[in-house]
Amino acid sequence: MTGTELLELRDVTVTFTSGGLLSRRNPITAIDSISFQLSRGETLGLVGESGSGKSTTARAILRLADVDDGSIRFDGAEVTEFGRRTPLWYRRSVQAVFQDPKSSLNPRHVAARAVTNTLRRHGVKSRSARNEAAAEAFERVGLLPAHLYRYPSELSGGQQQRVAIARALALDSDLVICDEAVSALDLSTQAQIINLLADLQHSADLSYLFIAHDLGVVRDICDRIVVMYLGTVVETASNKLLFEHPKHPYTRALLAATPASHPRARERRRTRRAAHRDSRMTSTPPRGGEGCPFRLRCSSVMDVCETVTPPLQTLRDGSEVACHIYSEPQTSVAVAGCSEEA
C-alpha cells in the first residue's frame, strides 16, 4: 500500500426499480450510503454473503449501475458527473474480471481477439501492434502462444480466466475489479490465479478491488477488507486485524463459516457456528429501515439496535465498525464480552 488514494466512495446509494407496480413503489436499495477508499497499489477485499451489494458496488464503479446518491472519485475525477458516455481514459483505467469468463468471451472468436478487439476499441490502429500486444499479454498471464488461436470452448476454466485477465491488463490499467473472479475455479486453479494476480500487481503497479463471498480467498490476497451486509458497510480493517480481531458480530459469523484446514480450528469453528445458529432468527429486517440491519441475526443485540442505525465509526486500532457494542460509553465492557465469544 502506497497511501495515495486512487478510489473513494462516499455515501454511495444505488436503488433498483423494475417494471412492476409494487417494485416502483418499493425500490430495492441494493447499496445504502456506503463509503470506503482504495489506495494505489492496494488490494482491497469486499466480502459479504450473497445479496449484500458487492456486485452492485462494482457495477456502480464501472458505471454499469446508476448511482442515486453519493460520490465516486477516481484519481481526482468525479465519476458520477461523467456524462452519458464514459470517458475512454476511465474505461482504460478501470477494468473488470468477472466470475464466469466463458460468458465474457465471445465463443466464436479465438482467444487472442479478446485482447486485440479491446486494443482496437482503445485506438491501437496497427494490426501487427495489436497482435504483438496480445502475444505479450498472453505470455504475462502464463498462457502459451498456441492458446492465442484457441476458441474459449477449447480452454479450461483457469485458462479462460487467464484470457480475461490478459484482456484487463492489455490496456495498462490502474484498477482491476475482480468480482468473484476465482469463485468458480477449483482450489488449485484458484491458488494459481491468485498468485498470478499478485505477481502482476507488483510488475504493473495495479490496484485491485477483490470481491468474494469467501473470506478464505480474501485472506490470501487482500491488504485491507471491507465487510458488507444488506447493502451497508459494517466493518473495514486491515487483513491482520480482521482475521485476528474481528469486531462486528456479522464479521465474526462470516469467519466462523470459513472452512478451516486444521482439525482443531475446524472444531472451534463448528462450536462457534452452532452458537451463531442458535442466536439467529431466520428473517431479515427491511433494507434501509431504522435500526441495525443485523439485529435479527445478532447474538449481542441490545435495545438501541432496534431503533438506531449504528454509524460507521473509527476505532483506536484504525478499523471501522458499524455496531452499537463499540459506542463510546460501553466500549471496554462490550469488546471484552465479544472477545470471550470468539
229 is written with which cell numbers? 451486509
Can you tell me the distance from the alpha carbon of 35 to that of 226, in angstroms, rounded to the nearest whole number? Answer: 10
How many chain residues touch Mg ion (CB under 5 A)? Answer: 2
29-58 binders of Mg ion (CB under 5 A): 54-55
Q: Which is nearer to ligand ADP, 53 or 158 (CB)?
A: 53
15-34 binders of ligand ADP (CB under 6 A): 16, 18, 28, 30
When asked if residue 51 is in the footprint of ligand ADP (CB under 6 A), the reply is yes
Type of residue numbered 272:
R
Check: CB of residue 208 under 8 Å from CB of residue 29.
no
- Identify what 118 binds: ligand ADP, Mg ion, none; CB under 5 to 8 Å per kind: none
Strand partners, 39: 5
When asked if residue 184 is in the footprint of ligand ADP (CB under 6 A), the reply is no
How many CB atoms sit inside 10 A of residue 221's CB?
20
When asked if residue 93 is in the footprint of Mg ion (CB under 5 A), the reply is no
Can you tell me the distance from the alpha carbon of 272 to that of 89, in angstroms, rounded to the nearest whole number? Answer: 48
36 is written with which cell numbers? 470506503
When asked if residue 56 is in the footprint of ligand ADP (CB under 6 A), the reply is yes
DSSP string of 294-309, one letter each residue: TGGG-TT--HHHHH-P
Output the smallest distance, CB 211 to Mg ion, in A. Answer: 7
Q: Which is nearer to Mg ion, 171 or 211 (CB)?
A: 211
Of residues 20, 25, 50, 123, which one binds ligand ADP by CB under 6 A? 50
Check: CB of residue 58 under 8 Å from CB of residue 211.
yes
**Overall residue count recorded for the chain in this entry:** 342
- Identify what 149 binds: Mg ion, ligand ADP, none; CB under 5 to 8 Å per kind: none
Q: Which residues bind ligand ADP (CB under 6 A)?
A: 16, 18, 28, 30, 48, 50-56
